[in-house]
Structures are given as structure tokens and as C-alpha cells.
Amino acid sequence: MPFQTISIIGVPLDLGAGRRGVDMGPSAIRYAGLRHLLEQQGYQVRDQGNIATPLAETFDPPTAGERLRYLEPIANVCANLADTVATSVTAGHLPLILGGDHSLAIGSVSGSARGRRLGLIWIDAHGDFNTEETTQSGNIHGMPVAALAGRGHPLLTQLAGITPAIRPEQIALIGVRDLDPAERDALRWSDVRTFTMHNIDQRGMANVIDEAITAVTAGTDGFHVSLDLDAMDPREAPGVGTPVIGGLSYREAHLAMELLAQTGGLRSLDLVEVNPILDERNSTAALAVELALSALGKRIL
């Protein structure tokens, strides 16, 4: 077990999403027994509470057609989160970030990447590779991969102290099945490794994860995993704001996490987009906890 201490950091942010409710995700994941189960696995756990995040009601509503909704408050939250994560890394802890919408990963990944070269495993139904020029919604939770790869507004691209925070060729997207047209074109022309559900169906999760690991570990100090629960099929994870049918099965997701754990390269982890308003008996939050445990070394035998 390379890390003895895990720092839990909650980010109750929902400004980047189109539907409300993911701000309650950190509480739901904690309620599902996260700390106790991590301690059972042998870790020391330090829960740092939640990063301060503003409510949407404290701002004027975004105007129709706004291309970067809530840009400044989201950038401020991400900057604060990046500092908190970087401090945790310096202390020798593994940061476990609970969301909240996926825009927060601009901060968590940037903080984890400060002073070192990381790869990025992004498990998501969506590419999150939009920018101000390509977005159809203006929602920043559809932009973090682009920002981390150095594309987009400077408030979002410079939090790691180096741009890009992650080199595009060391980013692997897994489980993708819903892309905007211009986003699809941008990914095709980028060096980001994109593994769609078609690839998983055709080749199997083990093969896809092996190739992704090769990409994100070549010349890096390890990798960050950012898990959006909408990567799962909605039958497995009903409590997400942007469900897309045809997603990962329960065992495919666990296999991915188990294989990532076996590398010993995990340096930080996000669990995002859990929406308790839409959930069934907190089942999505409980699944998030199970998958985190697999990523952190829990095995069947």
C-alpha cells in the first residue's frame, strides 16, 4: 500500500452542471460509509471537510447563449481546490476528491500535477473536451479535459503552474459514448487517447485499460483517475444528472479499477457527478465508494 493516509476533500459544486443536486454528492458519498470502509482497508483517513463553494442563487442567472457559465466562481473554487490538493500531495497523502460536478477536476488534477508529471485516466460517458468555441450548453463541466490539455480560457488552463497541466498524449478517456459534433472533431485531431464503449465492447475492458495504462504511465510519476458516475450504465448508477444508456457494467467498472490499482501508479482520485436528488436509496453513492475501494487496492481474494 504505497499511501498510508488518504485525504478526503469535498467539493459541493454544481455551478458547472445543467441540473442542480450534485452539490449534495460529497455528503451522500460520505454517508455511504467511505471513511469507515477505507479504514477497514488499512488506511489512515483525514477528512478535510468541504471546499467553500458559492450557491447559484447568489449570482444573476446566466444569459441565454452564455459560453462560459459561472466562469469566475468556478475558477475560484478550482484554484482553491488545486492549492488544497497540492498541500495534501506535499504531505505525502493521496487526495480523494468528492464532487460535485466534473468542472472541479480542473482544480483537483492541476493541484495533483504541480511539480510533477502526471498521466490522466478519465472515465466518463462524455468527452469533456469542449471549449468556449465548441460548447453547445456553456456548462463548464463539459470542458475540464480540454482545459487540462491546455485548451480554453486562461483562468482554467493555468492552475497547475504549467500549461498544459497534462500532456494530451498522456490522457486516456474511457467509456465515452456521447460527444458534441465539434467536440468529436477536436478529439479526433488531438493526441488524447479516446476509448469509446464500442472499443470496450469489441476488445474488452482489460485490453482497453492495459493500453490506457501504457499511455498515461510513459514518462510520468503516476496518474490521476477522474471517475464520473455517468460512465456507468444508468441501471447501475441512476443518481447522475446526465445519464447515457449503454454504459459500463458493474464488473467492467470494478475490473478497470482493480487493474489500475495493480499498477501502483494511482496518485489522486475524483468521484464526481453523484446527484442524490435523482438517486435510488443512495445506491449511486454506494457504488462510488465501492469503486474507490477497488481503485485503492481492495480485492476479491
Which residues are CB-neighbours of 143 under 8 A, at least 6 positions away? 103, 106, 128, 129, 130, 131, 135, 152, 156
Place 168 in a pLDDT band, splitting at 50, 70 and 90.
very high
- What is the three-class DSSP state of 24? helix
254 is catalytic: no
300 inside domain: no
Total domains, the chain: 1
Give the pLDDT of residue 232.
Answer: 98
210 is catalytic: no
| Residue in 124, 258, 279, 290 annotated catalytic | 124
278 inside domain: yes
195 inside domain: yes
| Residue in 258, 273, 279, 290 annotated catalytic | 273
Q: Which residue in 215, 229, 294 sits closest to 255, CA to CA? A: 294
| Residue in 101, 128, 178, 183 annotated catalytic | 128
pLDDT mean over 94-122: 98
pLDDT mean over 218-237: 98
268 inside domain: yes
| 130 secondary structure, DSSP code | -
> Which of 2-16, 200-214, 284-298 is predicted with the least confidence, judged by mean pLDDT?
2-16
141 is catalytic: yes
Place 2 in a pLDDT band, splitting at 50, 70 and 90.
low
| Residue in 230, 252, 258, 290 annotated catalytic | 230
| Residue in 14, 93, 126, 270 annotated catalytic | 126
The domain in which residue 139 lies consists of 5-295
12 inside domain: yes
| Residue in 178, 228, 258, 270 annotated catalytic | 228
Place 64 in a pLDDT band, splitting at 50, 70 and 90.
confident
pLDDT mean over 35-45: 97
Residue-averaged pLDDT of the chain: 97
Place 111 in a pLDDT band, splitting at 50, 70 and 90.
very high
247 inside domain: yes
DSSP assignment string, 32-67: TTHHHHHHHTT-EEEEEEE-----GGGSPPPPTT-S
pLDDT mean over 28-46: 98
Which residues are CB-neighbours of 240 under 8 A, at least 6 positions away? 228, 229, 230, 232, 234, 273, 274, 275, 278, 284
CATH of the domain at 53: 3.40.800.10
273 is catalytic: yes
158 inside domain: yes
Please state the pTM of the whole predicted model: 0.97
pLDDT mean over 38-64: 94
- Is the Cβ–Cβ distance between 291 and 255 less than 8 Å? no
Place 275 in a pLDDT band, splitting at 50, 70 and 90.
very high
Give the pLDDT of residue 166.
Answer: 98
102 inside domain: yes
| Residue in 14, 23, 102, 236 annotated catalytic | 102
- pLDDT of residue 1 exceeding 80: no
128 is catalytic: yes
280 is catalytic: no
Give the pLDDT of residue 62.
Answer: 85
153 is catalytic: no
The residue with greater pLDDT, 62 or 78, is 78
Place 141 in a pLDDT band, splitting at 50, 70 and 90.
very high
126 is catalytic: yes
